[in-house]
Structure formats: C-alpha cells, structure tokens
Amino acid sequence: MGLPGNLKVAVVGATGAVGTEMLRILEARAFPVDELVPLASARSAGRTIRFDGREVAIRELSLEALRGADLSLSAAGASIARGFVREAAAAGTVCIDKSSAFRMEPDVPLVVPEVNPEALEGSPKIIAVPNCTTIVAMMALAPLHRAAGLRSMVLSSYQAVSGAGRDGTRELAEQVEKLHDQVEELGRPDLDALPVGDVFGKTMAFNVLPKIDSFAEDGSTGEEIKTVNESRKILGIFDLDVVATCVRVPVPVGHSVSVLARFSRAITPGEARSLLEEAPGVELRDDPANGVYPSPLEAAGRDEVLVGRIRQAPDHDDALLLFACGDNLRKGAALNGIQIAEHMFSTG
Amino acid sequence: MGLPGNLKVAVVGATGAVGTEMLRILEARAFPVDELVPLASARSAGRTIRFDGREVAIRELSLEALRGADLSLSAAGASIARGFVREAAAAGTVCIDKSSAFRMEPDVPLVVPEVNPEALEGSPKIIAVPNCTTIVAMMALAPLHRAAGLRSMVLSSYQAVSGAGRDGTRELAEQVEKLHDQVEELGRPDLDALPVGDVFGKTMAFNVLPKIDSFAEDGSTGEEIKTVNESRKILGIFDLDVVATCVRVPVPVGHSVSVLARFSRAITPGEARSLLEEAPGVELRDDPANGVYPSPLEAAGRDEVLVGRIRQAPDHDDALLLFACGDNLRKGAALNGIQIAEHMFSTG
C-alpha cells in the first residue's frame, strides 16, 4: 500500500486523551503528514505540541483553520463535530470523526477497517469511527460472524475511565489518592465520606458504575444504545438480536467485553480460535491451562484486540462465550481512525 | 420469632474477612450466644478477639474444640471444612458452612433464606451457604422467578477482591499504592513494570481479571461452574439454561452482576419493580430519570441486595436486563449464614 507524501492533516481535539494518541500513532506509523494542523478549543490555542521532532502551534478550531486540509482526524465531541464536519467535508476535506454525531447517518459509513472496509468504497467525505466498546466487540465477533453468521449477542462491558477523557482519568486518580489509605487500613473506603466528582457523578475509585452516558426513556444508557445500533450497522445485520449493559470500571486504559454470541450454525471453541488466530488486528490469548487469558492492562498500549476465555455455552452448539480487551484510546479510537485514513489515501 | 438464650456458638475462621463480619453481625443482631468459641488456624490460636464487650481467646480448630457446640458458623475454605463438618454434625452440632465443600451434596441444603427457606425443613445438620455471586443473583431473580418462571439466565459478574479474603484486599491495596502516582502523572500505570501478586497472579490494581478460581477442562472457571450449578440447585430448576462469566474488579467490597433473564411468560420492568419492592432483603434502586441505580460501594456494609437498571430486552417481552449489587462479606457470606441459623434455632 502506498500513501501520497504531501497530506495536510488536521487533528481536532489535539490536546485530549484521544488526540494525543492520534499524534503519537501518526508518528509511529509514519503517516505521510506534510503539514500538521493541531486544532483545539480557544483555551489551548497558542500552546504548542511536539510532532515529528518539531513544535507545532495549536490553533483554535474553525473552518478557516481547516481550509485546504486533505484530512481531518477529529477526536472532539458530538456537538463540536456537528459544528464543522459537514462544512469541512463539502469544502473537500476527508473528515474522519470519532464522535457519535454522524455514526447513524445513512450517508456516513461507520467503519472498522478489519471488519467492513467495503463501506469505504466510493470515496466518502465523512467516515465515522464507532464507539470504543463496539469496536472491541466487533473485532472479536466479525471473524466468527463471517464464518458462522451471527444471530444474537449479549454483551456486558468493563470500560476504562479514559473513555470519559482526561478528566475521567484525573477524577479516578484523585479519588484513589484520597481513599487508598483507608482501603489499606480498613479494607474498604470510609463509606460515610465517599468522594463524588463531576465526571462520574458517583464514587469511581474502588467502585463500578453501570451508567455511561445519559439515560434514555427505556432505561438504557446512551452508551448501550450506541453499542446496539452501531453493531447492527457495522455488521449490516439491521435486525441483529443484541442487548448491552455498559459499566464503567476503575481501570485507566482498556475496555473489556464479556459476550455471549449465537450463530446460525454450530461452532466450536476450537474453530473460533482458528478463525481468530488468522484475524488481522486480533491476538488470541486463550490458553486457560497455562493461565493465558486477556486483561485490559495487557491490551493497553497495544494495537491488537486481545480475545480469550472462549467457551461453548452448555447445551448450545451454536453459542460461544468470550472475553475481549482493547485499548480504548488506540484501537477503540485513534488507531481505528488512522487505519481508515490509510485506506482512504492508499494509492495501492 | 424467638430464639433460645443459651447457645454455644463456634465461629470457624474467626480472624478472616468473613469470620470478622460474622462476629460483628452476631453482635448487631443480638444472636443469643451464651458461649462463643472462636476457632482459627494454629497461627492465630492464643490471640483474643473482642466479642460483646469481652476478650475471647481464639482456639485452634479441632473436633475437641467444637465439642458441645450447638452451632458452627464456618467461614473456612473447602479443604478445612471437609476435615471437620461431617464429624461435628454427627456429634450434634448444626454446621452452617460457607465453603464450597458440601454445596452440591444431595443431602445438604443450599440455602438463601429469602429464596428457599423450605430447604431447611427436617432439621438438617449441615447447611451450605452459596457462593457470594450466586446469592446476589438469586436475591434479585427469585422474586421474579416465583411470579413468571425463570427459563434462562446470562450473567457477567464484577466481583470484589475481598472475595479472595483479606490477602486479596491487601494485594489490591499494595498495588494501588505502587501505581497510583503513575496513573496520576501518566494517565496509566507503567505497562513495562506491572506488579504481580500471589493472590491474583496478574496485576489487580487498575485492571479487571476474567478469572476467579481455577480453570476446568471446558475453559470455565470454578467460580463460573459454582454459579451455574448453585443457581440451579437453589431454584430447584435442574435444567435451567444458564451461563456465567465471572470477573474480578479492583473493588474492595461489593459484588455486582449484570443479568439477562428470560421467563416463561411476558414480564415488564414495571411488574419486576413492583415484585422487587415487596421482596425482603432487596432494595430497589431503579429510577434512572433521577440518577438512581446501584453500585457496589453503595451496597457495602448493607444487608440488602440493591437492584436496578431493570430494562426490557428489545423485541423480547419475556426477557429483562438488570444489575444487582450486594455486600459479598455480609449477604454474600456472613449474614446469609446467620440468617440460616436464625431460621434453624427459631422457636417461633
């Protein structure tokens, strides 16, 4: 695969948790950036970030600042994305957007390059990066789906605090700092004086919170609705029987999913392991006899989604259980976006 | 309910995480202990523990030490339990055992008093306390099962480190101490120097581990097998279609379960809420519009199992999703055992 050597690349939200990963991954993969335009809020404008050995000034996000960019990699939130993506795309910039703003738009492909690269045909100008949990689940399930036809999925997640951005990690770190002596001395935090922060609304340290994003009318959270809808769109199975429960855990980096998947035909753990061993972007970690199974800290900093704990559901030869972990900032966000860009600008 | 006033009560494993809770709960509920016999390993013998305002000497566990006890509440592990329970029961002591040693024995009832108190009829001498995760799940599901007939259950757990005893909590606290500056400064632990402890085998702080107990041949863990088998025995549905994935999370106290349950007839979240509101030992925490949902730290130190996040599974009017949290040391262990004792010795 060849890439042209003269791309003007904007990174929107360049100072955030995902934006920082984008810069590091662009460098590491030697993406052909001729001119980097790091964009952020007015608050960060004027500061510099280091890229490829140079200091580059951060500018405030605007259509003017994006003018002439071949590519915009955006890690900003949905409301910010709504304010510039359609216009920038109309002006000719390929906009790869991590926010939820455009994911379900019929004219916007929602892409995990290893799963549905065909959605990139026809040179779309806006491409949405799926939700981080969905990406991890799809990386594990798509190779099995291609072989055996996914019929249903029951998913419970274990999601890192960095999914809520740098503030999420900061809030966890502050609460851990406050409570860890109590855990050491009393075996638990002082339950009468639990700290509550702005990001998570309840104590996040030493706790799990079954709420990510806001609640919808039916009692689901935004995150759960995204996981359901995006899984259907990525796989192209619009009536896929899928339920999700999304839970935040006190882990800094690395999203995990516990999945029960049913297929259209019988499939054994052995066949699933063979399929996943061959799947690009997946690393099989499934050797229970030798204590090999995935965990989120092992996936952190890695490109691959780790998959293990593959088991037959008892009495169901068409159903498998599995556990998958991925770096939510990398494959769950920044890396997936840059892989899309590599596909889009490939000259090969 | 009346209780006789002259019971000789042995607490086996009196110095451990669950044993300590047993002593506190016996005091708090004014259980009629005439003579307390705290038993532990030889290592702890001779030390004293405080009970009801007195210092009581700890003795080494032996059949001799148990002689004449009306009741043995045991928080010891399975291999220790196998060494004394049958003999003590034959000598007339009612043995309420928290270990997994006898749970699946056909002649031993496995009891959650709110769920299957009828299993205590006939004055059994050995009664097993279920696995902590199973208790939390059964407390949430039994009231719904009685009304609508449980057909299947898909469970993923979020289990506290104290389920592995005091050493589990200590290992988490030590690792958190070591890593929390890194998380504060770098946003994550140093992935090249992750601490590994004896209890969990991988880094437990800032991580989740989908392995509790050892692996069986089919790739399930002991904990998962217990959850499946014990749920079937407690509910008396020996062909219940149930799968479990058990995951350790860096939470000191409080086990949580994410459950998809299917019933024999249609059931709405509204009906489920009404049933759970009336259920003894359950506290409904399910008002998403007002941010009310359960978390393990809110369940810690409480007798009740908290249940919330009740939702209809889309397109399945017979299936509900829910999330439940319980104190694994109290309702998941010590309290449940003492409630069994109250039933057994009730004169009412």
CA distance B11 to chain A (A): 21
Q: Write the residue in B188, B247, B294 that is nearest to A252 by C-beta.
A: B188
Enumerate the domain spans of chain A.
Answer: 7-130+333-345, 134-167+174-328
pLDDT at A212: 97
- Residues of A with CB below 8 A from B309's CB? 210-211, 219, 245
Which pLDDT band holds residue A202 (cuts at 50, 70, 90)? very high
Q: Judge whether B248 and B209 are in contact, CB under 8 Å.
A: yes
In this structure, are residues B269 and B179 in contact, taking their beta carbons and an 8 Å threshold?
no
Q: Name which of A162, A210, A241 is nearest B309 (Cβ-Cβ).
A: A210
pLDDT tens, A221-266? 999 999 999 999 999 999 999 999 999 999 999 999 999 999 999 9
Per the CB < 8 Å rule, is A245 touching B253? Answer: no
Distance CA A307, CA A277 (A): 10
Looking at chain A, the whole-number percentage of residues with pLDDT higher than 90 is: 96
DSSP secondary structure string for all residues of A111-152? --TTT-GGGGTT--SEEEPPPHHHHHHHHHHHHHHHHH-EEE
Residue A51 C-alpha, separation from nearest chain B C-alpha, in angstroms: 18
Give the whole-angstrom CA distance, residue B72 versus residue B316. 46
CB pairs under 8 A between A and B: 198
Q: Do B208 and A251 touch (CB under 8 A)?
A: yes
- Show residues of chain A in contact with B156, CB under 8 Å: 156, 245, 258
Mean pLDDT of B249-270: 98
Catalytic residue numbers of A, as ranges: 132, 255
Mean pLDDT of A68-88: 97
Contact A180 B173 (CB under 8 A): yes
| Residues in chain B within 8 Å Cβ distance of A173 | 180, 183-184
pLDDT tens track for A295-342: 999 999 999 999 999 999 999 999 999 999 999 999 989 999 999 999
Distance CA A40, CA B302 (A): 46
Which backbone phi and psi does B69 adopt, to 5 degrees?
-70, 135
Q: What is the full DSSP assignment across A226-280?
A: HHHHHHHHHHT-TT-EEEEE--B-S-SS-EEEEEEEEESS---HHHHHHHHHHST
Superfamily of domain B134-167+174-328 in the CATH hierarchy = Dihydrodipicolinate Reductase; domain 2 (3.30.360.10)
Specify the 3-state DSSP secondary structure of A320.
strand
Name chain A contacts of B153, Cβ cutoff 8 Å.
none
Reported ipTM: 0.95
Question: Among A154, A253, A269, whose Cβ lies nearest the Cβ of B219?
Answer: A269
B150 falls in which pLDDT band (50, 70, 90)?
very high
Separation of alpha carbons A294 and B60, rounded Å: 41
Which amino acid is present at B206? F
| pLDDT (average), residues A124-153 | 98
Question: How far is it, in rounded angstroms, from Cα B304 to Cα A151?
Answer: 37
Burial B174-198 (b: 16+ CB within 10 A, else e): bbbbbbbebbbeebbbeeeebbebe
Q: Which CATH number fits domain A7-130+333-345: 3.50.50.60, 3.40.50.720, 3.40.109.10, 3.40.50.300?
A: 3.40.50.720
Cβ-count burial of B167 within 10 angstroms (0-12 exposed, 13-18 middle, 19+ buried)? middle
Q: B187 and A166: CB-CB below 8 Å?
A: yes
Is the CATH number of domain B7-129+333-345 3.40.190.10? no
**Which residues from chain A sit within 8 angstroms of residue B249, using beta carbons?**
158, 208, 249-250
